[in-house]
Amino acid sequence: MTANIAEQWLDEMARSTNEQDFDALLDLLSDHIRLLGKSDQDTVDQEEWLRRRKLEFQSRTPKQVSYAPPQMKANLPGRLMFRTVETVRTGNGPSRCSPVEIIIQQEEAGKWRALQQRPLSDSNLQKQSPRLAKA
């Protein structure tokens, strides 16, 4: 059941990005989201992340995003943590695959929204999840 929630959230994240539906994308993010980078200097707040996505959408750069099936790491009441691999394909460059860890929480009216996202190193992902690393 919890994996289904995570899969549905990832499907909606991919759909809203691929269709450049900014409002739908915004609805998948908590007002308290933390987008962590590989270092403290890479950490982005919600305002900066939204600014970047708006610029990408306005530039109409062809982009296709997909996610590997989630690997559940924690299930707390109203909060799920999982790992996945995000694949981004652009019309003018090679694909980029990035392992990430995402925490989503259930907010008002039962809506699941991202609370935190952080990149994982490939070696970290492979040590902890050979199945996900192959996805």
pLDDT digits (tens, 9 = 90+) for 47-87: 887 888 788 777 766 678 999 999 999 999 999 999 999 99
Residues, the chain, total? 135
User: pLDDT band for position 2 (50/70/90)?
Assistant: confident
What are the distances in angstroms from CA 127 to CA 117, 120, 123, 132? 19, 11, 6, 10
Average pLDDT of the chain is 84
Q: How many CA atoms lie within 13 A of 74 on its CB side?
A: 11
Q: Which of 20, 11, 34, 27 is nearest to 113 (CA)?
A: 27
- To the question of pTM greater than 0.85 for the whole model, the response is no
Q: Which of 91, 31, 38 is nearest to 65 (CA)?
A: 91
